[in-house]
């Protein structure tokens, strides 16, 4: 009876943490889309909303970390139960980082609104952001459903984001070579594209953690990657 009671208490703890993860995931999905929309619509107010909203994402990550630590200390989970708690911690850390990238995008929007638009760039960034948001939604759905195949599908989509990034990178180079006056705007746009590409990487890492949670093993095959510009690093 005591073991049953402990198991029931652990399940309640994990359910509560899962609810927080889903809430955090929803905020991050909104931040991704709104960061891209703020650029496309030259909406500084929306960009500021994304920046301010990052505090709520950070607070949820802290709340999840504290709840997970309490669960480990009080319930002493083992085997898959422990794996579940550790997975939650990793998902929360990745979501927090994705939120940071969305905030970084919003910061650059405030600068770009005063510059001449680069033809097609804003729409392309919005499509790329929507792709990553869809991957994130599928990853969270895979986590809730315990669906390893859905998580694996997310892994495979990462190369689509890489290809979109590579295409944008080449376009920005062309614009800069054609007219040096485009250099500043294109550099800002490039780093926004890189932010989105990194969001895709983090989302794919989350999908791999979901696979590990469900199967007990990390994927053996390296996920397909198509980013050929990884040498371009954004200053910290």
- CA distances to 105, 113, 132, 164 from 41, rounded to whole Å, are 14, 9, 20, 21
Task: Look at residues 88, 95, 92, 90 and name the one whose alpha carbon lies nearest to residue 71.
Answer: 88
| Residue 231 pLDDT exceeds 60 | no
Three-class secondary structure of residue 47 per DSSP: helix
| Residue 232 pLDDT exceeds 50 | no
Token pair in block for residue 54? 């990052």
Q: How confident is the model at residue 235 (pLDDT cuts 50, 70, 90)?
A: very low
Token pair in block for residue 112? 């770009």
H or E segment to which residue 232 belongs: none
Read off the pLDDT of residues 140-178 as tens digits, 9 standing for 90 and up.
999 999 999 999 999 999 999 999 999 999 999 999 999
Read off the pLDDT of residues 2-60 as tens digits, 9 standing for 90 and up.
444 357 888 899 999 999 999 999 999 999 999 999 999 999 999 999 999 999 999 99
- CA distances to 16, 52, 116 from 174, rounded to whole Å, are 50, 34, 16
pLDDT at 156: 93
Which of 79-88, 93-102, 104-113 reaches the highest mean pLDDT?
A: 93-102
Tell me the C-alpha distance between 171 and 34, whole Å.
23
Read off the pLDDT of residues 123-144 as tens digits, 9 standing for 90 and up.
999 999 999 999 999 999 999 9
How far is C-alpha 151 from the chain's CA centre?
Answer: 14
pLDDT at 123: 94
| Average model confidence (pLDDT) across the chain | 91
Tell me the C-alpha distance between 145 and 143, whole Å.
6
- CA distances to 29, 114, 185 from 182, rounded to whole Å, are 30, 13, 6
* Phi, psi of 217, deg, nearest 5: -140, 145
Read off the pLDDT of residues 176-199 as tens digits, 9 standing for 90 and up.
999 999 999 999 999 999 999 999
Supply the pTM of this predicted model: 0.90
* Phi, psi of 166, deg, nearest 5: -60, -40
Q: Indicate the Cα dihedral angle 127, 129, 135, 138, nearest 10°.
A: -90
Read off the pLDDT of residues 53-90 as tens digits, 9 standing for 90 and up.
999 999 999 999 999 999 999 888 888 888 999 999 99
| Residue 233 pLDDT exceeds 60 | no
Half-sphere exposure of 54 (CA within 13 A, CB side): 20
Do 23 and 60 touch, CB atoms closer than 8 A? Answer: yes
């Amino acid at each position: 009876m005591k073991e049953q009671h402990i198991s029931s208490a652990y399940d309640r703890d994990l359910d509560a943490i899962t609810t927080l993860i889903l809430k955090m995931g929803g905020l991050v999905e909104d931040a991704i889309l709104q960061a891209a929309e703020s650029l496309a619509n030259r909406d500084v107010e929306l960009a500021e909303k994304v920046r301010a909203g990052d505090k709520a994402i950070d607070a949820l990550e802290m709340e999840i970390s504290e709840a997970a630590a309490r669960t480990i200390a009080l319930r002493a989970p083992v085997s898959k139960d422990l794996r579940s708690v550790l997975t939650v911690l990793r998902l929360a850390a990745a979501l927090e980082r994705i939120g940071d990238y969305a905030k970084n995008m919003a910061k650059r929007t405030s600068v770009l609104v005063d510059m001449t638009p680069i033809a097609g760039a804003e729409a392309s960034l919005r499509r790329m952001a929507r792709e990553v948001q869809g991957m994130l939604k599928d990853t969270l759905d895979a986590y809730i459903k315990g669906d390893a195949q859905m998580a694996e599908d997310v892994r495979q989509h990462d190369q689509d984001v890489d290809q979109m990034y590579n295409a944008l990178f080449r376009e920005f180079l062309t614009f800069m070579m054609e007219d040096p006056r485009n250099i500043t705007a294109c550099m800002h746009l490039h780093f926004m594209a890189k932010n989105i590409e990194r969001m895709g990487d983090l989302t794919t890492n989350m999908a791999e953690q979901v696979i590990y949670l469900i199967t007990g093993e990390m994927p053996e095959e390296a996920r397909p990657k198509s980013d050929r510009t990884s040498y371009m690093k954004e200053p910290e």
